[in-house]
Amino acid sequence: MNDPLNREVVSDKGCIPHDLLKQQSKLNILYQSNIFKNFLKGVLNLKDIYPYSDTLSSINYNYYQKSQQLGWHFDNASFAITLMIQSSDKGGEFEYVSKGRNFSENYIDKSYIKDILDRKILPQKADVDSGTLILFYGRNYLHRVTPVESEKPRILVTLNYNEEEGTMLSENARLTFFGRIN
Ligand SMILES: O=C(O)CCC(=O)C(=O)O
Ligand SMILES: [Fe+2]
């Protein structure tokens, strides 16, 4: 009952999956660009990075309309890359803490997570404007997006890569995020 991992959070952002983007869109060009991939590999110290092999998950165009949010969570992927297209005028803030879990050691700090959920410890906020690129270890750092409070929606793209070739997002996750599996 008291386990903070059982606490329900609201996530109701909208998401446009990869297969609905134009092949020659700037986002696709950026995502496939060797200059960009080399930059990411250098900063994140990775040998190589690969797109998802399903048709939906590599680039996701997320939009948060008034009152929409993304609840506190850890990501499945080890690192996250986000590009802000348009920030909201009010609300829609990216809040995070740089701890909470150590995935490789199978450790989760429940009392710390409880204090964050109860607002006993206040998280950090990232000052994110249009064009801001964020590289983030979302698997170990608890994070969320607060409800948008303005008419102007918050629009943000996630650029999703894997360290192994041929990775697919699970069918369950695809159904949850996109409402279909292909
Ligand atoms: O919208 C954001 O800034 C964060 C998105 C995020 O955390 C996610 O998609 O897992
Ligand atoms: Fe996330």
96 residue type, one letter: Y
* Averaged pLDDT, 105-112: 96
pLDDT of residue 76: 87
Pocket residues for ligand 1 (CB within 6 Å)? 62, 70, 75, 82, 94, 138, 143, 145, 156, 158
For range 126-132, the mean pLDDT: 94
Helix (H) or strand (E) holding 126: strand 124-126
pLDDT at 58 exceeding the cut of 70: yes
Helix (H, G, I), strand (E, B) or coil at 139: coil
For residue 20, what are the domain limits?
Answer: 4-178
- Name the residue with higher pLDDT: 2 or 25: 25
Q: Select from 145, 148, 178 the residue to mutate for testing ligand 1; criterion: most ligand atoms less than 8 Å from CB.
A: 145
pTM over 0.85: yes
Number of domains in the chain: 1
| CATH number of the domain where residue 34 is located | 2.60.120.620
Percent of the chain whose predicted confidence (pLDDT) is above 70: 99
On the question of pLDDT at 1 being above 70, the answer is: no
Q: Report DSSP state, residue 5.
A: G
